[in-house]
A = this chain, B = another copy of it.
């Protein structure tokens, strides 16, 4: 946590509240919010801790005892949970003040919702953690929780130009978080920089980052989807690699990894098999309140049998082991890879998760770092993906990368 922020916490709070006042009608990051007076009072009475002086937004699939949790669906309109999700309770215990619930797509899937990209209201903020990424990018809140099942943290972080972090799968509890896929769901968050993400990580796990950075070896990885990489993304990746090499980081080129080739499709099979079961209640009681896009997913899912599912799980497990061995054998701390094809597309979609699904499926930690604005003025950055359970090491690598590449 940067000390100057604590010292000037009240000033920052005033700035954030006025940003919301000015910008909320355009950015539309919030489903529900406490009124300013309540936030100011909460700020005064919050416990002392690692997150003292922090405001946080909470994606509206994550329970809060004092604000409804609607999951982006009319089925849960005005639904008020009785308790906080575990991650929210931990953040409050560490001193953070929850200011409101941020917009999610329906059930954290693909249907766009009302939030716009803070850099251009005709572009998508990405999804499904749309409001969380946009609110942090627009400086309406210090940090925000999101969830990632396919690409729902990294992609909106990329489109909005903030740091987005998805820890190793199942490191953090999903208690009080609405399920999308019990196989893939992961809690993550958005902050302005890596230092803040490291502080949040400490609040959640009890662990500080290593004091000294180890030597860093990073693989440049364009993946099997390299055809989708826009020139501005390629430019940022190449410039980042050059800046890192100039600062003593070893960069190696990594060709598309054969063990990852079928992961995308296998993950899709598992996701579909999962959601038709996860949403058994919503399907059987409220089908008319579910969007066409999601209903179509249910129909597609009904073609996926148990044996397909087992085959996909088997493929994924083999890929996880192979990837673990590959990273260890090559002594790689991280892969530097696209977060998204390019700048945020127009607002009628939430963009393409083609560069996210594989890492979520492997369960490895991933972080997005914003680098600069692209040709149309929207943010472009890079993704770093690490080894499973090596979250601390990935954050240390990210801090090193950030200090060497971010243009001021």
Contact = CB atoms under 8 A, between A and B. Distances in A.
A19 interface: no
Contacts of A179: 86, 173-176
A389 interface: yes
A207 B82 contact: no
Contacts of A170: 182-183
Contact of A282 (B83, B204, B206, B274): B83
Contact of A206 (B79, B85, B178, B306): B306
Interface residues of A, number: 46
Interface string A166-194: 00001011111011001100000000000
Contacts of A280: 84, 86-87, 89-90, 93
Interface of A is mostly: helix
A400 interface: no
A172 to B, nearest CB: 7
Given A175-B278, A284-B92, A310 B182 contact: no
Contacts of A172: 182, 277
A294 to B, nearest CB: 15
Nearest to A202: B306
A76 B84 contact: no
24 contacts: A83-B281, A83-B285, A85-B281, A86-B277, A86-B278, A86-B280, A87-B280, A89-B285, A90-B280, A93-B280, A93-B284, A170-B183, A172-B182, A173-B182, A174-B182, A175-B178, A175-B182, A175-B278, A205-B306, A206-B305, A207-B305, A207-B306, A207-B307, A314-B389
Contact of A86 (B82, B279, B305, B307): B279
A277 B307 contact: no
A324 to B, nearest CB: 9
A153 to B, nearest CB: 18
A89 B284 contact: yes
A74 B379 CA distance: 49
A405 to B, nearest CB: 28
A97 B79 CA distance: 26
Interface in A74-122: 76, 79, 82-90, 92-93
B86 A76 contact: no
Contacts of A204: 277
A65 interface: yes
A268 interface: no
B389 A281 contact: no
A312 to B, nearest CB: 11
Q: What are the 6 A-B residue pairs with the smallest beta carbon separation, nearest first?
A: A89-B280, A207-B306, A175-B179, A89-B281, A173-B182, A84-B281
A178 B83 CA distance: 12
